[in-house]
A and B are shown apart, each in its own frame.
Chain A
Amino acid sequence: MARVVVDVMLKPEILDPQGQAVANALPRLGVSGVESVRIGKRIEIEFTGDPDLAQAQEIADRLLANPVIEDFTLRVEDGPR
């Protein structure tokens, strides 16, 4: 079944304290050399038939992302889980 995957990320200019907290924890794992971490959301939408991209676009634009603070990208993913 084909699904539409929407990735939502905070806009680059919006501070992401959650990502910063993760970045600050990395040295505890012994990881160095990480410049920054930003956290977003991945949303999978499965339609009953063929994926309706126009409808997915509207879902993403009106509900999944808030255009004031977030950007989103949308793609169709094929194949079984």
Chain B
Amino acid sequence: MRIGVVTFPGSLDDGDARRAVSLAGARDVPLWHNDPDLRRVDAVILPGGFSYGDYLRCGAIARFAPVMQSIIAAAGAGMPVLGICNGFQILCEAHLLPGALVRNRHLHFRTRDQALRIESTSTPWTSGFTEGSQVIIPVKNGEGRYVADPAILDDLESAGRVVARYVSGNPNGSQHDIAAIRNEAGNVVGIMPHPEHAVEALTGPSTDGLGFFTSVLAHLSAAGAKS
């Protein structure tokens, strides 16, 4: 299975995301912001960092990158897409996910190992987790506060589209303690914490993050076996 990781100018965590993909047992495929070719990938990850310097708003300029036009079309056709941190911001700016991510309530950049509760396992990226289970995954963001209007929040909650929530302290003032959400179909997930930084005992606080990458691999393998 081929999982693409996009590099934008200013991406930081593309290397870690590709490493996580390969540790999970999939083939990691580098994708380039200025090239619309998705190189026959089965899923795409938009990594963390500061695409285009975060100028104007986080993710606002990346949304118009040539590769994003292909990803928006592929996401509409059901391809699994995971946006991590800056990737989550890009997915919101591209209207693949509702709401927006704004400056942390306390204005501080927050880096810490964060407890999360997995709220939805009905996405290709979280199908390997147990609903309600708690995981430890690092957060590192300055603009990670999820906001949406009350009708959208109600909709996310009632449809079970909150994928993960902060527990034991909200690091940024995110509404409803939201750490991750999914689109209506479930194939597009945005998450503020960094699962790719929790894939090895040597470098991470846990290996809980690996579950996102093994989940999508299992999902793709099952889909491949069916077709």
Residues of A within 8 A of B (CB): 10, 13-15, 17-18, 21, 63-64, 66, 68-69
Contacts and interface: CB of A to CB of B under 8 A. Distances in A.
A68 B105 contact: no
11 contacts: A10-B102, A13-B149, A15-B105, A15-B173, A18-B103, A18-B107, A63-B56, A63-B61, A66-B60, A69-B100, A69-B102
B104 A68 contact: no
A14 B102 CA distance: 9
Contacts of B148: 68
A17 B93 contact: no
Nearest to A18: B103
Contacts of B92: 68
A15 B92 CA distance: 18
Interface string B51-78: 0000011001100100000000000000
Given A17-B104, A17-B107, A21-B107, A69 B147 contact: yes
Nearest to B95: A68
A15 B60 CA distance: 20
Contacts of A66: 57, 60, 93, 100
Contacts of B173: 15
Contacts of B60: 63, 66
